[in-house]
Amino acid sequence: MKTKKEEQMKSSLHELFLDELKDIYYAENLLAKTLPEMAEASTAAPLKKAFQGHLKETQNQIKRLEQVFKLLDEKAEAKKCDAMEGLIKEAKSLIKDNEAGLTRDVGIIIGAQKVEHYEIAAYGSLATLADLMGHTEVKVLLGETLIEEKATDEKLTEVALNFVNEKAAAE
């Protein structure tokens, strides 16, 4: 039998877990709205393509989060995520402050990698919490998204390094 203290801890951890899920649900929806703008503002074809691909992935990740809420018997709700608001504001400034071309592309990659790292940290924590609370199926779903976010970050590094090599070759 569980003690009252253990029950309280379980309930407060559940609240924290739920709050973090609502935070990333907000963040993913905001990102899905912004990705077409990032694709549009990119000059290099591989970068445009990367953002278009990540939009589809993000839409799927949103559905996956809705599945997580359902598995937990909770309503899918978004809670304003100040960090993602700031990250998107920064990414938009990088677009606004630079004319179309290589520098803007590099700026967009920087902004996008910061967004990806926010998501990597968020899904990493959520997967650990799901494990701690015994939500095995939920942990698997969150883990799938975590792998995708890491792959997107690596893809963006690859695109950035290609810029570096092209630049070096042109010198």
Neighbouring C-beta atoms of residue 71, cutoff 10 Å: 14
Specify the residue, 94 or 141, whose C-beta has the smaller distance to its own copies.
94
Closest approach of its own copies to the CB of residue 91, in Å: 9
Sign of CA dihedral 95, 97, 102, 107: negative
Q: Give the per-residue contact string, 78-117, with its own copies (x = CB under 8 A; - = no).
A: ---xxxxxxx-xx---x--xxx-xxx--xx-xx--xx-xx
Q: With contacts defined by CB under 8 A, how many residues of the chain interact with its own copies?
A: 49
Sign of CA dihedral 36, 101, 105, 160: positive
Distance CA 69, CA 76 (A): 5
Nearest by Cα to 110 from 148, 60, 62, 163: 163
Closest approach of its own copies to the CB of residue 39, in Å: 19
- Output the six-digit token pair for 72: 């937990």
* Residues in contact with its own copies by the rule CB under 8 A: 9, 12-13, 15-16, 19-20, 23, 81-87, 89-90, 94, 97-99, 101-103, 106-107, 109-110, 113-114, 116-118, 120-122, 124-125, 128-129, 131-132, 153, 157, 160-161, 163-164, 167
